[in-house]
Amino acid sequence: MKKQFLFIFLALIVANTSQAQGRTTRIGYIDMEYILENVSDYKEAVSQLELKAQKWKQEIETKKLNINTLKESLKAEKALLTKELIEERETEIKFLETEMLDYQQKQFGSDGNLIRQKAALAKPIQDQVFTAVQDIAEAKNYDFIFDKSSDLTMLFSNTRFDISDQVIRILNRTEKREQLTKKQLKEQEAKENLENAIDENPAMAERQKALDERRAAREKLIQDRKLEQEAKKKEYDDRRNALAAERAAKKNGTVSETAKTTETPKTTNATPTTTETAKTGTSEKPAATQTTAEPTMTKAEERQLLYEQRKKELEERRKKILEEREAAKKAKEAEQQKSNTTNN
C-alpha cells in the first residue's frame, strides 16, 4: 500500500512539473507531534488527562492487591475448607480477575478511554493546524505539504522545508488577536510580515540575527556607560561634600571626620610626651591647636581639581564615541561585504 502511494505521489510530482513548464515545485512538511507539544491549551488538557490516568492505574493496583490477598488467604486455609468452599472462592477470584482485566482494557486498551480522550483533545487543534497549513500553502504557493509524524515514511527531511514553527506562530497569533487593541493589531501585523519575510529569505534571517546581536551589544554598552557615569557622579559628589565639610570645620575651628582620619598619624607623632611638656613648661592645649591648623584646599584649587576631572571625563567620552563609530563602520563594511558575497 505504501509503495503504491509513493508511486502515485511521484507520478503527481512529475505531472505537475511538466505542466508548470519550468516552475519550481514547492514542497513543505509539518510535525504534528511537535506542534501539539508547543500549544499551551493542548498541553494543559493532556496534563489533566494524565491525572485521570494515574487515578485509573491506582484503582487497578488496588484491585490487584485485593485479588492477591484472596489468593493468599485461600492458600493458607485450603486444608481446612471443603471442596465446595474452595471452588466458591476460586470462582470469586476468577470473577474479580476478569473484572480487573476488563477495566484495564476499558481504560488503557487500543480503543480505551485514554486513547479516545487524547484524540478528542487533539481534534480541535488538528483542525486549526489544517486551516493554518491551507492558509500558508495558498499564501506561499506550496504544491505539497506533508505530516512528518503520520504513516508516511520520510527517510530524510531538510529542516528548511519544515513549516511547523510557522503553523505554531499562526495558532498563537489567533489566540492573541482576541485580546489586542487596534494599535497593537497594526504592530502585530507588521511583526508578522517581518517574520514571513524572514521565513521566505534565509539570508534575511541571518541579517536580522546580526542586527539583533548588534542591538543587544549597543544596549549593553549604553547601560555600562550609564552605570559608569553614575559611579563618577557619586564619586564627584562625595569629594565635593568632603571638601565642604572640611571648609565648614575650618571655619568653626573644629576638625572634620575626613581630616581626623587623614591626620591621625601626624597627630600621634606630633603629640609631645608628658616629660617633654613638663620640660618646656607648656601645656598640651596649644599642641592640639597646632595639629588642627593643617592646610586645606582653597576655592581656586578646588575649581582647578573639578576642571581637570571634567576635562578627563570629556576626553574619555570622546574616545569612547570614536571607538563606537569605528566599530560601527567596520560592522557596516563587513555586512556590506557579506551581502555582496550572498548576491554573487
Concatenate the DSSP letters of all residues of 213-247 into one string: HHHHHHHHHHHHHHHHHHHHHHHHHHHHHHHHHHH
3-state DSSP assignment of residue 158: coil
DSSP 161: G
Domain housing 40 = 24-200
Q: What pLDDT does residue 91 have?
A: 93
In a domain, 293, yes or no: no
Distance, in Å, from the CA atom of 139 to the CA atom of 170, rounded to the nearest integer, reads: 13
Q: What pLDDT does residue 184 have?
A: 61
In a domain, 287, yes or no: no
Backbone angles phi, psi at 111, to 5 degrees: -120, 35
What would the grid cell of residue 17 be? 512539473
Buried b or exposed e, range 5-24, using 16+ CB within 10 angstroms: eeeeeeeeeeeeeeeeeeee
Q: Is-above-0.75 flag for pTM?
A: no
What would the grid cell of residue 263 be? 591626620
pLDDT digits (tens, 9 = 90+) for 68-120: 999 999 899 888 888 899 999 999 999 999 999 999 999 998 888 999 988 88
In a domain, 258, yes or no: no
How many domains, in total, are found in the chain?
Answer: 1
In a domain, 342, yes or no: no
In a domain, 272, yes or no: no
pLDDT digits (tens, 9 = 90+) for 128-138: 888 888 888 88
pLDDT digits (tens, 9 = 90+) for 201-241: 656 666 767 777 888 888 888 888 888 888 888 888 888 88
In a domain, 139, yes or no: yes
In a domain, 94, yes or no: yes
pLDDT digits (tens, 9 = 90+) for 299-315: 777 777 888 888 888 88
In a domain, 329, yes or no: no
